[in-house]
Amino acid sequence: MDTSTELILIRISGVDRPGLTATITAILAGYDVDILDIGQADIHSTLSLGILFKCSEQDSGNILKELLFKASELGINIRFYPITAEEYEEWVGMQGKNRYILTLLGRKLTATQIASATRVLADQGLNIDAIRRLTGRVPLDERKAQVRACIEFSVRGTPNNREELQTNLMNLSSSLGMDFSFQQDTMYRRMRRLICFDMDSTLIKTEVIDELAERAGVGKQVKEITERAMRGEIDFRESFKERVALLKGLDESVMKDIAVNLPITEGVDRLMYVLKKYGYKIAILSGGFTYFGNYLKEKYGIDYVYANNLEIIDGKLTGRYLGDIVDGKRKAELLQLIAQIENVDIAQTIAVGDGANDLPMLSIAGLGIAFHAKPKVKANARQSISTIGIDGVLYFLGFKDSYLDERANS
């Protein structure tokens, strides 16, 4: 660095007001300084502003004097810190390090949760650069419906042990009742384009085959097989054949009645509206049935539906199915196929599901999210949501409540 120049960091705090940043930078502009870094945060009308600038040695005294007078006039606090060339070069060197985003999500977030999660980051040698709240301000009345809180940490560095970090965050998620996502902050994270959902127990709050079985009088038998399959205790394909066979003789009209009364998962309306508004391609990849997937397709403008077809003859289910079974392996293949059709890199894809047969697509997607998932699924997914509705996916994509209009927030 030229010895005739100085590097100075100023830190300003106080009550925020319109034009404060403009006033401070106008003083610097009068001396034609170079701004090397700038950052600002506002918490409940309290401003924190930092500016690192380079100026000539002969101007530095006058600059600091003008800033002090202006700070006194505005009723704000200002502090000055000289920065050495070595300190600056070290800071520049940090820019090449990996960057990550840690997102914490829950009905509310406590000091214990934040302290525990940030301790995991510190223990891994990671440094927090910035913190921002993605949700609207939390109401004091916690009894209000659909209250949620989300904080996003921008983190720099390379974890000492990425798997250990993931495990520790997962353990905190279970013990402290919060959700998290830890993603590398790359171009692909900011440009997700395709999202694939499981249907049963994900977009809807039931397993449709269980609903059909209840109407057919075989509910207990089918539900038992379903639960074993979703826990990964038995092969999905074999369990599917067994369950469908038990539906033989059920009247086709029952399917329509179930479809119009499907219990939609909390947050689906908001999620679908936002995804469509921002141009995402949306797919349902389900081990359930095409009939119900198509109902959701029409309701939400979903782009693709791949599920299983039940054979119907003379208005009755035959207990057989048509075509290939959509199992876990097929879901992963379909995600890759749709990505190719839409010319989307696999790193730009998202998959959301709850069962063991969703793990293959969760593992290959750029962002795989276990939603209110079975323990085995949650343990093997890198991200999970268990505390709030499915619109929590939006926060893992970086959406902030203030980005969204009134309809999206309803």
Q: Which two tokens stand for residue 114?
A: 């934040």
Residue of 182, 116, 126, 175 whose CA lies nearest to 152: 182
- The answer to whether the beta carbons of residues 17 and 73 sit under 8 Å apart is no
Contacts of 336 (CB under 8 A, 6+ apart): 346, 364
Q: How many helices (H) and strands (E) does the chain have?
A: 16, 15
32 flagged as catalytic: no
The Cα–Cα gap between 193 and 340 comes to: 12
Residue 322's closest CA among 353, 297, 296, 291?
A: 291
3-state secondary structure of 180: strand
Residue 152 · residue 102 · CB < 8 Å: yes
Query: What single-letter DSSP state applies at residue 136?
Result: P
Query: Catalytic pick from 16, 179, 198, 327?
Result: 198
* Tokens encoding 157: 């560095």
Cα–Cα separations (whole angstroms), residue 253 to 257, 258, 262, 388: 7, 9, 15, 34
> What amino acid occupies position 92?
V
Report yes or no: 331 and 361 within 8 Å, Cβ to Cβ: yes
Catalytic site residue from 16, 200, 327, 391: 200
Of 160, 218, 195, the closest CA to residue 279 belongs to 195
Phi, psi (deg, nearest 5) at residue 353? -165, 170
Give strand pairing partners of 149.
106
Q: Which residues are catalytic?
A: 198, 200
